[in-house]
Amino acid sequence: MTDSPNLGFDTLQVHAGARPDPATGARQVPIYQTTAYVFRDADHAAALFNLQEVGYIYSRLTNPTVAALQERIATLEGGAGAVCCSSGHAAQIMALFPLMQPGCNIVASSRLYGGTVTQFSQTIKRFGWSAIFVDFDDHAAVKAAINDKTRAVFCETIANPGGHISDLDAISAISDDAGIPLIVDNTSATPYLCRPIEHGATLVVHSTTKYLTGNGTVTGGCVVDSGKFDWSANDKFASLSAPEPAYHGMTFAETFGPLAFTFHSIAVGLRDLGMTMNPQAAHYTLMGIETLSLRMDRHVQNAKTVATWLEADPRVDYVTYAGLDSSPYAGLVPKICPKGAGALFTVAVKGGYDACIKLVDNLNIFSHVANLGDTRSLIIHSASTTHRQLSPEQQEAAGAGPNIVRLSIGIEDANDLIADLDQALSAATS
């Protein structure tokens, strides 16, 4: 049933990847809490290990519960395949792993989650990789930053923390001209608000911890493969286009075609990096996705209501929500996120750093946590937490200056959220 191209998003978010368990008839996807799987015979085992047959070997590589989640996310994103892993940060490394070699670089947006900036500016150097950070609103600068060693372009659909919208169509045109993949972090938008593959993305990454799960219970990540990139068009991506010694010279691009990246990420990436998603986490995320569209509609509705109120408040300097008419990104919303601009944005509080700290400490309904995309409304002062490792210049470039708080608007009553912000702003700016 879920193979039909005519099924709507609301149907697919419930049914994609989920089939009654053949052994018991269980309707919900079971939690296959097992390490290993019994082979039918020696020939079956050999065929699985030689990638001649698809099946289950060991749960570091594949697991039926995780496989159901992979199919569901790939279906919702319009991708050919997907690989789930242990966190959003793991998904970013998994996305880059088949593409990069020592000495190679990526061109990345300067408006990224602070942890991603740290991962790209510091940690990946240990692999011999590097990142060139560019303002992705400046398309000429993005194009100019790409060089012979660039192997990917990376941005977020809705940037964390500021909620800025990326013009994916323009960016993908630049990456296509350069013959390199565009990787889009779609965590803040989810496939309900935006499907980056339809705008030219090669790979889509998610922190499934956030909106896809939606209840703040488990961490996870996912890489969705569009299946549309020609890895053999040049010699830049040898992991996919050249013979693989570990599989007797097999070439992934030749053998698996549109699923080359997906199979490589399982057979090499998960095999050797071991960034495995556990089946209980997959189960929680599968359940969360069943209500994704319902939650996202409410998230967007509440975010617009709260952001509109905040923008008119004299205790606030400005609000960065792209769903406001005053936003410089308002014109991109109908094209990139036609169902709404998400529920993540920042607020500049008059009184600077000290006022932000007082605001956070005086809220009652909003939770002060290092997370987003929960059903609960969340707040954090990025400069002293998630973006603390960055320089002041990097904080400003990322939209996380000392006078800024980030809000992730939940699905509570919007009037209650406004009342909570009102009393906390009074305490913060009195």
The answer to whether residue 350 is domain-embedded is yes
Q: Are 205 and 183 in contact (CB under 8 A)?
A: yes
| Residues 261, 327 within the same domain | no
| Residues 87, 138 within the same domain | yes
| pLDDT above 50 (res 403) | yes
Among residues 254, 288, 322, the one where a domain terminates is: 288
The answer to whether residue 11 is domain-embedded is no
| Residues 202, 340 within the same domain | no
The answer to whether residue 55 is domain-embedded is yes
Identify how many contiguous H helices and E strands the chain contains and give both numbers: 18, 12
Q: Name the band, by pLDDT with cuts 50, 70 and 90, for residue 384.
A: confident
Tell me the per-residue pLDDT of 244-297, one tens digit each, with 9 for 90 and over.
999 999 999 999 999 999 999 999 999 999 999 999 999 999 999 999 999 999
Among residues 288, 307, 331, the one where a domain terminates is: 288
DSSP β-bridge partners for residue 85 = 221
CATH of the domain at 402: 3.90.1150.10
Tell me the per-residue pLDDT of 46-73, one tens digit each, with 9 for 90 and over.
999 999 999 999 999 999 999 999 999 9
Res 400: pLDDT: 79
Question: What's the structural domain count of the chain?
Answer: 2
| pLDDT above 80 (res 390) | no
Q: What's the rounded mean pLDDT across residues 356-383?
A: 94
Q: What's the rounded mean pLDDT across residues 354-371?
A: 95
Res 268: pLDDT: 97
User: What is the identity of the amino acid at 70?
Assistant: Q
The answer to whether residue 304 is domain-embedded is yes
Q: Could you list the residue range(s) of the whole structural domain that residue 317 is in?
A: 293-429
Res 382: pLDDT: 83
Q: Name the band, by pLDDT with cuts 50, 70 and 90, for residue 1.
A: very low
User: Can you tell me the distance from the alpha carbon of 60 to that of 401, in angstroms, rounded to the nearest whole number?
Assistant: 40
Q: Name the band, by pLDDT with cuts 50, 70 and 90, for residue 389.
A: confident
- pLDDT over 70 percentage in the chain: 99
Res 416: pLDDT: 98
Q: What's the rounded mean pLDDT across residues 94-104?
A: 98
| Residues 150, 241 within the same domain | yes
Q: Name the band, by pLDDT with cuts 50, 70 and 90, for residue 4.
A: low
User: Can you tell me the distance from the alpha carbon of 16 to that of 69, in angstroms, rounded to the nearest whole number?
Assistant: 8
Res 401: pLDDT: 84
The CA distances from residue 323 to 71, 72, 112, 210, 339, in Å, are: 31, 28, 19, 20, 10
User: Can you tell me the distance from the alpha carbon of 77 to that of 220, in angstroms, rounded to the nearest whole number?
Assistant: 17
User: Can you tell me the distance from the alpha carbon of 265 to that of 276, in angstroms, rounded to the nearest whole number?
Assistant: 11
Q: What is the DSSP letter of 158?
A: B
Tell me the per-residue pLDDT of 200-248, one tens digit each, with 9 for 90 and over.
999 999 999 999 999 999 999 999 999 999 999 999 999 999 999 999 9
Q: Considering the chain, what is the average pLDDT of its residues?
A: 95
| Residues 262, 390 within the same domain | no
Among residues 288, 319, 350, the one where a domain terminates is: 288
Res 394: pLDDT: 79
Structure tokens at 212: 């896809």
What sign for the dihedral angle of Cα 289, 291, 292, 295? negative
Q: Are 411 and 298 in contact (CB under 8 A)?
A: yes
CATH of the domain at 217: 3.40.640.10
Res 3: pLDDT: 55
The mean-pLDDT minimum among 19-33, 97-111, 198-212, 317-331 falls in 19-33
| Residues 63, 163 within the same domain | yes
| Residues 259, 311 within the same domain | no
